[in-house]
Amino acid sequence: MARSQSESADPKHEGRAGDLDDLSGKVLALLIGEASRLIGRAAEDFDEQAELIDLGFDSIELELLTAKLNERFGLRLTPTIYFLHPTLGGLAAHLVAEHREAFV
C-alpha cells in the first residue's frame, strides 16, 4: 500500500530503513570522531572501509577505543570485536544491528 504525501512528509512515518541509515551515519561519525582523537589524525583522513590496522591502530589503541566506547555508551565490547569487524564501517553496522538502543 502506497503512503500518502502527508505521511511521506511526516517524520513519524519515515521508514525503518531510513531511520537505520540515519543511525548508521550517526554511529559512523561518532566512531570516526573517537578514532580521530585517539590516534591524532584528521577525521576526513578516515576511510570507513579501510582496516583499522591500516589506519594506524595498534593493539593498545584498539583497547583504548574499546574502553572509550564501553564507557561512553554503556557497552560490554572486547577488543576481539575488531577481528570480526576490522573497519569503522563494519563496526558501525554491527553496533547499530546489535546495540541500537545505546545510540538512540
Of the candidates 51, 67, 58, 57, the residue with the CA atom closest to the CA atom of residue 35: 57
pLDDT tens, position by position, 68-78: 999 999 999 99
Q: Which domain holds residue 73?
A: 17-102
- Name the least confident of 14-28, 42-56, 90-104: 14-28
The answer to the question of residue 88 being in a domain is yes
The answer to the question of residue 48 being in a domain is yes
pLDDT tens, position by position, 31-80: 999 999 999 999 999 999 999 999 999 999 999 999 999 999 999 999 99
pTM of the model: 0.78
The answer to the question of residue 79 being in a domain is yes
The answer to the question of residue 25 being in a domain is yes
Query: Where residue 49 sits, what CATH number does that domain have?
Result: 1.10.1200.10
The answer to the question of residue 6 being in a domain is no
The answer to the question of residue 45 being in a domain is yes
Cβ(96)–Cβ(103) under 8 Å? yes
Number of domains in the chain: 1
